Amino acid sequence: MSPERIALSLPIWRGTPHLSVLSGGITNVNFRVTDDSGDYVVRIGDDIPVHHISRAGELAASFAAHAAGLSPPVIHHAPRVLVIGFVHGRTMTPADFQDDALRHQAVDLIASAHRNIPKHLRGGAQAFWVFHVLRDYAARLIAESHSKAALLSKLMEQARTLEGAVGPIDMVFGHNDLLAGNFIHDGARLWLIDWDYAGWGSPLFDLGGFAANMGLTSFQETEMLTQYFRAIPADLPRRYAAMKAAAALREALWAMVSESHSGIDFNYAAYAATCLDTYAAAYSQFQRTP
């Protein structure tokens, strides 16, 4: 059965449901469905072992994120299917977070996720350690003779340097996929959606990923860290710079793996090239950070 038919055949609809495709997703197939009771988002997707995605973990995180006031409610779930409330608002772009007020709202939302989701999380929970993800991605790309496999030896040597620089971590429950498209503003506040990669890990990964994905300046990064931590320990800038670089490298290797493992119509190769440029800049920043 096609994803469209699955979405329309769910037993929860009142009256005749109407479906439209939601663009922008590069991991799942997403639809907006409207029935007599309102608007909903239907996400169709299996577990994705190559990306360490567990739908059971996504569901648990989605329930907890709603209970923490960060995400819309879970309306229905079944194998391969997650239905959540539709947020009437505007999907953010990286340029939006050049606005100080919006960026501050986003950092508050990230901090709230880290501090409040664990209060509501139930059942099994995923772990997310970016350096394990990088090693796994690199091994797969080499085994599959990816066109950029020759780059991986140097990249993984750099990853080992970054992992050593990060050092011990304080664990939080992170979102781990802070692309601009996962923030929606309804006119009054920001919402954070899509918990596919959520799991226990370092707060620096979300912060570094947010900065890398939004193209924040050094001043904005310092402001972000001060807002999140209140006081910045002397060793934090280098540890943060290391994790920011790792976050950018993860996005690049994610795109490379997705080239041959995703059926979604998206130019993963071009995205990987852009992410490698972002990583190169982030690694250079790390090298300059004392």
pLDDT tens for residues 96-146?
999 999 999 999 999 999 999 999 999 989 999 999 999 999 999 999 999
Q: Who's near 278: CB < 8 A, 6+ residues apart?
A: 212, 248, 251, 252
Mean per-residue pLDDT of the chain: 96
Evaluate if residue 24 carries a pLDDT over 80. no
CA angle 97/101/106 to nearest 5° reads 60
Q: How many CB atoms lie within 10 A of CB 8?
A: 17
pLDDT digits (tens, 9 = 90+) for 245-257: 999 999 999 999 9
Q: Across residues 8-37, what is the average pLDDT? A: 92
Q: CA 285, 114, 195 angle in degrees (round to 5)?
A: 90
Please tell me the distance from the alpha carbon of residue 31 to that of residue 16, in angstroms, as a whole number: 15
Helix or strand holding residue 81 (H, E): strand 81-85
Strand partners, 33: 19, 40
Half-sphere exposure of 6 (CA within 13 A, CB side): 18
| Reported confidence tier of residue 258, pLDDT bands at 50, 70, 90 | very high
Burial 143-170 (b: 16+ CB within 10 A, else e): eeebebeeebeebbebbeebbebbeeee
**High-pLDDT (> 90) share of the chain, %:** 94
- pLDDT of 27 higher than 80: no
Confidence of residue 263 (pLDDT cuts 50, 70, 90): confident
Helix or strand holding residue 287 (H, E): helix 268-288
How does pLDDT run across 45-54, given as a tens digit for each residue?
Answer: 999 999 999 9
For residue 4, the model assigns a pLDDT of 95
pLDDT tens-digit readout, 173-223: 999 999 999 999 999 999 999 999 999 999 999 999 999 999 999 999 999
What pLDDT shows up at residue 15?
96
pLDDT recorded at residue 19:
97
| Residue among 193, 151, 198, 192 at smallest CA distance from 175 | 198
Q: Which domains does the chain have, with CATH numbers?
A: 3-85 (3.30.200.20), 90-288 (3.90.1200.10)
pLDDT at 25 over 80: no
